Structure 1
Amino acid sequence: MTGPHEEVRELLGAWALDALMPGDETAVVRHVGECEHCAAEAARLRATVRHLDGPAPPGPVPDPDPGPRGLSLALRSRAPALRTAPHAAPYAAAVAGLRALLAELDEHGPWGTPVVHEWDVHDTVAHLIAADEPLARHVDRNGQAPAAPPAPSGPATPWRVAWAARTREVILRERARTPAQTVSTWRNQAAGLLSSRAAHDPELAARTVLLTGGRLPVADHFLARAFEAWVHARDIGTALDLPVPPPPAPHLWQLVRFGVRILGPALGPGAPPVALTVSGEGGETEWILGSGDDPVRAQLVLDPVDFCLLIGGRRAPGQVPRGMSGDASAAENVLTRAASLSWL
C-alpha cells in the first residue's frame, strides 16, 4: 500500500505542468508544506518547466530555495495560463488569475463575504459557471465547430432575462454544494473552453455565433469571457481586500478594442461623432464614434482600465476620469451608452 508521500511524489510532475485536479492540488499543497524532500523535488520540477517554457516575464525573481513552507505559499501564487491562440489568451490569463485568487481561500474562508449584485464570493463563482455556459455549449472539449443551438420551443426569451434566470438557477444549485466543488466545476468548464480547437484555431474562431444577445465571432466571445472573469475577480478582490491587477497590457488592449467594437454600433448611425482616445500603458489609439457624415463634435480621452471598467459597469459615466473638450453632451452620450452595455 502506498502512503501519502508516495502518492504526492506521483503527482508532482502533473503539478509542475499545472494539470492537477483541485482535490489533488490540495493534497500536494498540504504535503509539501510538511515534507522537505517533496518540496525540493516540486521546486526542481517547476523550475524545469519554466525553463522549457522560455524566459520568465519581468518581475521579482522567486526565491530559489523557498523551503517547504515557502513552497506551500508559492503553490498558491499565480498559475501559468494555458497557451492558446491570441484571441483566447486574455481569457486564459483571467482564468489563471482568478484561480490564484480563489486559492487564497480555504474551505472555511470568507466565501460568504458580499461581493456584488447581492452575491457573495461563492455565488460569484457560481455566476461565472452560468456565464461561461453559452460559449461552452458551442465548443466541445475537442474544439469542434460550434454545435447548433437547441430549437426554440416557444417565443424567444430576451437574452438578459434568460441570463438572469440561468444565473439564479445555477447559484441556487451551487449553494447546496461546497465552495471547493463550485470552484472545481468552474475550473473544469474553463479548461474545456481553453482546450477546445476554437481557442487555438483563429480560422474556426472567426466564425460568428449568436450568444448572450450578440452575434459576434467566436474570438470576440472569448474576449467577453476574459472581460467578465477579470471584472468579477476584481470584484472578489475588492471585497476581500486582496489586490487584483489589471490584465497585462497586450490583453488589456484586446479588451479595449473589443469594447470599442461593441460600443460603436450601439451608439447608432445618428449619434454625434466623438473622437475617443484611449491612452495609457501600452500605447494610445483614437477612434471616431458615431455618425461618419458630420464633423467631430467632441474629444474624449480615457485610460484603458477606466474604459474597460466603464464598459463593465464598474465606473459611473459621471465619475470616470476623463479628458474632454468640445460638445459636452456628445461626449457624455458616449460615456452613458458605454456604461449601459454592461451585462456583468
Structure 2
Amino acid sequence: MNVTRTMKHITYVLALLLMVASGVQAQEIKARATLDRDTILLGDQIQLNLELEQNIGPKIQFPQIPDSIGKSIEVLERTPIDTIKMGDRRIMLRQDFLITAFDSGPHPIPPVWFKLKYDQLTDSVHTNSLSLFVQVPKVDLKKGPADIKKPFDAPVTLKEIAPWLFGGILIAAIIFLLIYAIRRRRKKLPLFQKPPKPKEPPYRVALRKLDQIKEEKLWQHEHVKEYYSRITDTLREYLEGRYEVTAMEKTTDEIMAALKYDAVKLDEKSYKQLKEILELSDLVKFAKLIPVEDDNQMTLANAYFFVNQTKIEEKLPEEEEKENDEDNGDEEVTIDLSDKKGRRKS
C-alpha cells in the first residue's frame, strides 16, 4: 500500500512539473494576428499578418491557412514565412496574407493555432481573434443609372518607351549610313577617310625644296640646267601660293609684269633679285649659257633671300597649341622716362 501511494505521489509531482514547464514555455511564446484596417469597401484587398515571437529552441508548426477564412473572406496571396532576429536569443516568425471579401457586414476571423514541440513537451498557442467589417459603396439612387467609368490612363514610364526609343535611333542610324554609303559610292569615294591635313605654308615648302637642291649639289655634278630648272620651279610654286599668281604657266616677263600690281606689294630689292634669278635661268635653259661658279652659288642664295623676305609666318595648329602650353604668363611693359621709349620685359 505504501508503495502504491508513493508511486501516485511521484506521478502527481511529474504531472505538476510538466504543467508548470508547459505554462512557462507558453509564456515565452507570443502569437498575434493583425489587419491593416478593420473596415473595407466591398472587394477591397488588405493584409492579414500572423506573427509568432519565441525563444530559439522550440519547433513551431505554422498553421495551414486555407483559401478561405470562414464563409466570406477569401485568401488571394500568401508570402513565405519570414524569420526576424530580435536579440536575446529571441526570434519572430511572420507570414502575410492578402485577403478580400465580397459580402457586406461583419466577418469574424477566428484565432489561429500554432503547434509547438520542446524537448518531450507538445503544446499549442493561438493568436487573438479579429473582425473585419465590409461596407457597400454609397450609391445615389436619385441620379439614376450612370455610365461605366473609363479606365484611367497610367503614365508612360521610361522603361516602357526605352525599347521604342532606342529602336528608332538604331533604325535612323542604319538609314543614315545606307544613304551616306550610296552617295560616297556614286562619287567613287571611300566610305571612310581621314580628314585632310592642314595645308603647309608656301614658304616652308619652298625652303624645304631649296634645302634639298642644296644637298643634292646638282651643278657640282654637271647638272647645271636641272639645277636652275629646279630653283625656278620652286620659286614659281611659291609665287602661286604666296601671291596667287599663275607663275607656272607664264613667262618671266609675264610674271614680273604681274608682280608690279599694288596688290602684290613686292619691295624693289626682292623684285630685282627675283628678276635676275628668272632671267639667268632662262639663259641657262634656252640659250645654253654656262654660268660661272659664283653665279650658281648666288642664284641659290638669292632664292633663299627672296623667300625669307616675302614670306608670311603661318603656324600649323599643333605649333600654336604647343606655344600656348609653353606660354606661362603675359609680358610686362615698362617705360624708361629718360628716353621716352618703351622697353619690353619678359
TM-score range, shorter chain: under 0.3
TM-score normalised according to structure 2 size: 0.17
1 or 2, which has the higher strand percentage?
2
Q: Radius of gyration: which is bigger?
A: 2
Larger RCO (alpha carbons 8 Å, 6+ apart): 1
TM-score normalised according to structure 1 size: 0.17
